[in-house]
Amino acid sequence: CGWNAHCSFGFCQCNFGYYQYWGQCVSNGGPRPEPRRDDPFVSCQKNADCMVRDFNLICNTNITVQAGGRCECREDMKWNANSGQCELYLDVDCSSFTYDSPVSDIVEQAVNKTLEKQEENGNSTTTTTTDTTTTST
């Protein structure tokens, strides 16, 4: 995955203390890479050719009949031209949901379980619902 990053569930993510900026991991207060607006889907021979641009770009050598291939985002990711990097893409239509839509039981159970674990670990959490706001420390 490159410098200051690790693989998690098949995607490159920045290590603790770093954040993703233009497809690279940078430390807080550290120098930021220059934004690039050129085409990320260039010819390549190996993954390293693509990862110079974004750590989630890989070299797909199965799309051409000639030597080499073309850079593309990892599976289940798409290029976001605004942020200049590959990002997780969930092909989900949420247009029928609003902030006032009822939460499904399974989602509510998952949230409650997560909040309980955070509380056990001594993390402070604030939960806001349409009815109440609860703060626990």
Instruction: In whole angstroms, give the CA distance from residue 54 to residue 36.
Output: 10
pLDDT (tens, 9 = 90+) of the chain, 137 residues, equals 878 899 888 889 999 989 888 888 888 877 777 777 788 999 999 999 999 889 999 999 987 656 789 999 999 999 998 888 999 998 889 899 898 999 889 989 999 998 888 888 776 555 555 454 555 54
- Which residues are within 8 A (CB) of 43 and not within 5 positions of it... i.e. 6 or more apart? 68, 69, 70, 71
Instruction: In whole angstroms, give the CA distance from residue 5 to residue 86.
Output: 15
Structure tokens at 119: 């509380």
Instruction: In whole angstroms, give the CA distance from residue 80 to residue 86.
Output: 6
